[in-house]
Amino acid sequence: MKKVKKNQYTIIVEDFSTPTTYDGSQIASRFTAERYGVFGETILIFRGGMKLSPKEMIDIKDIVRESHLNEILISSDDSLHLIIEEFDIQPPNMELEYYRLQILVQNVIEVLRSHKIEISRKGTDMYIAGKKLNVAIATTSISSSKIHLGINITSSGIPTHVNATSLLELGIKQEDIENIALDIAERYVNEISKIKEDVSKTRSI
């Protein structure tokens, strides 16, 4: 594990050689404080599968729309995960956190386009030639706002009703995935920091 301090955020990168399954527990409030002793704004990066049943999911629309399709609605054998927790907006605002999730997704698109990958987005979902690359959600607790972005590294283990693609299928090399994740996280921090700077320099009317 390594930690990178970037402005007000601490970026925590788990050892990619030891996979961690995303099961929904990581989006709990103060997860990084309790697990790693890191407080304040954090971005947790790790690699591993996903396995979420409807009771562990946050997206009510997906539960209603897809619960008849499978007992496990969100799954994969190998994904890249970014978990963001932010305390800077009080009280936490879910709408604002979805705007921030949109910024994060756009950062992913910019990074992948730098690798010559043509990619589009619909809301917080990214697509290449009609195939879905990710899952994403934003939510709030009483004290913080949280984001989970999961990007498929392989297409193995993804539910059969999902027409999916993955980083490896798109030509991304295994050895580049961690640096790509850090690039995405640092771009996000830069975007949020620039917004705060713009707010601080702007006179109200």
pLDDT in tens, 1-22: 999 999 999 999 999 999 999 9
Q: What is the Cα–Cα distance from 124 to 61, expressed in whole angstroms?
A: 14
Angle, alpha carbons 135-140-143 (nearest 5°):
145
Peptide bond into 159 cis (omega under 30): no
Would you state the pLDDT for residue 26?
A: 93
Do 69 and 151 form a contact (C-beta atoms < 8 A)? no
- CA 26 from centroid of its chain's CA atoms: 11
Q: Find, among 183, 160, 2, 159, the residue nearest to 80 by Cα.
A: 183
Residues in the chain: 205
Task: Give pLDDT < 50 ranges for the chain.
Answer: 60, 63-64, 66
Q: What is the pLDDT of residue 72?
A: 53
How far is the C-alpha of 138 from the C-alpha of 114, rounded, in Å?
A: 26
Q: Which domains does the chain have, with CATH numbers?
A: 2-199 (3.30.930.10)
pLDDT digits 0-9 by tens, 157-185: 998 888 999 999 999 999 999 999 999 99
- Strand residue runs (E) in 64-124: 74-86, 120-122
Give me the pLDDT at residue 125, please.
Answer: 96
